[in-house]
Amino acid sequence: MASPLRRAAAVAALAGCALAASPAPAHAVAGGAPADAARYPWLAAVGSPVFFLRPAGQFCGGVLIAPDQLLTAGHCVSIAKYVPGALTVTFGRSDLVERGGEQVGVRSVKVHPQYRETTFQDETVPHHDLAILTLDRKVARPTVRLGSPAGAAAGTIAGWGTTSENDLLNTKLRDAAVPIRDTAACTAVYGDSYDPADMACAGDGRTDSCTFDSGGPLLVNGRVAALVSWGLGCGRPGYPGVYTSVADLP
C-alpha cells in the first residue's frame, strides 16, 4: 500500500543511487502464513537492483497476464516509467533471499492514462492504480486469468510484504484468506476517497495486505480480481485494505 513514509523510503534509496525512478512501496500479508511460490507461478516480485532495502530489490508485486506482460499497481512504477530498464521482475522465489527462480528485465511501462493521486489522513490514495510492464523477453510460465470480486464473500491475497506496520524484515512469500467488504462498508470508512468504480475492499482488521505487497493479487475463484493498492495502516481494526479493480484496465 502507498503512504508518504513508504514512498519516502523508496525515493531515498533510489535517489541515493542517482536513479530518477521512485517506486512506492505498498502492502505484506499481515495475519497470513508462509506460502510456496510454486502455488503462484505467475506471481512476480517487482523491484530494482538499486533498491538496497530489500533482497532482490523488491518493493511491489505483479501478476503475469501474457508471456511478456506483467500487471502491477500504477503507484509502484509511476515514475519508473521513465527508466524501465531500472526495473526487474523475479518469479519463483518463496523467500526473496534465495538465489533461485527467474529474473527478467523490463522494456517498457504503461501506466493507466487516468492515474492520479489524492490523500486520506496522510495516506496516498492512487486512483486508476494500474500499470502494465512489458518484459524484455517472453517467459515460459503460466499466466493468470482476470476476474471480478462481485458477489464473492472472500478472496486470497499473496505477497512478500511485511507482516505488520512495524515489521520491515519479512522476505518470505505469504498468503491469507480475507473477507470481501461491500461498497457501503468501505465508503463509510474512507468516504469519497473510496471509488467503487475502480476499487474493491477486503480485510477484517486482522488479516490484510501490508508494506511491499502493492501490485499483488486479490484472488477470487482462482482469478485475479484486483491488486493491492492502498489503505490506512496494515490490519487496523475498522480499516480494510483497498484494491484496484483489474476491470479498470484501459
The three cell numbers of residue 199 are: 476499487
Report d(CA 241, CA 212) in Å as an integer.
13
**pTM of the prediction?**
0.89
Instruction: Tell me the domains of the chain and their CATH numbers.
Output: 4-26+41-135 (2.40.10.10), 154-248 (2.40.10.10)
- Residue with cell string 492512487: 126
Cα 219 from chain centroid?
A: 13
Rounded to 5 degrees, φ, ψ at 198 are -140, 15
Cα–Cα distances in angstroms (integers) from residue 125 to residues 15, 16, 33, 109, in the given order: 23, 26, 27, 20
What residue type is assigned to position 173 of the chain? L
- Residue with cell string 505484506: 28
Residue that wins the pLDDT comparison between 246 and 26: 246
Q: Is 214 marked active-site?
A: yes
The full DSSP string for 21-52 is --PPP----BT-EE--GGG-TTEEEEE-TT-T
Report d(CA 225, CA 73) in Å as an integer.
13
Active-site hit among 22, 94, 127, 129: 129
β-pairing verdict for 154-159 and 217-220: antiparallel
Mean pLDDT for all residues in the chain = 87
Q: Is 78 marked active-site?
A: no
Active-site hit among 94, 214, 229, 245: 214
Over residues 9-21, mean pLDDT: 36
Q: Is the confidence at residue 184, as pLDDT, over 80? A: yes
Could you report the per-residue pLDDT of 30-52, keeping only the tens digit for each? Answer: 667 899 999 999 999 999 998 98
Q: Is 108 marked active-site?
A: no
Please, which residues bridge with residue 157 across strands? 176, 218
Report d(CA 248, CA 250) in Å as an integer.
6
Could you report the per-residue pLDDT of 195-205, keeping only the tens digit for each? Answer: 999 999 999 87
pLDDT of residue 1: 55
CB 49 within 8 A of CB 127: no
Active-site hit among 27, 48, 75, 195: 75
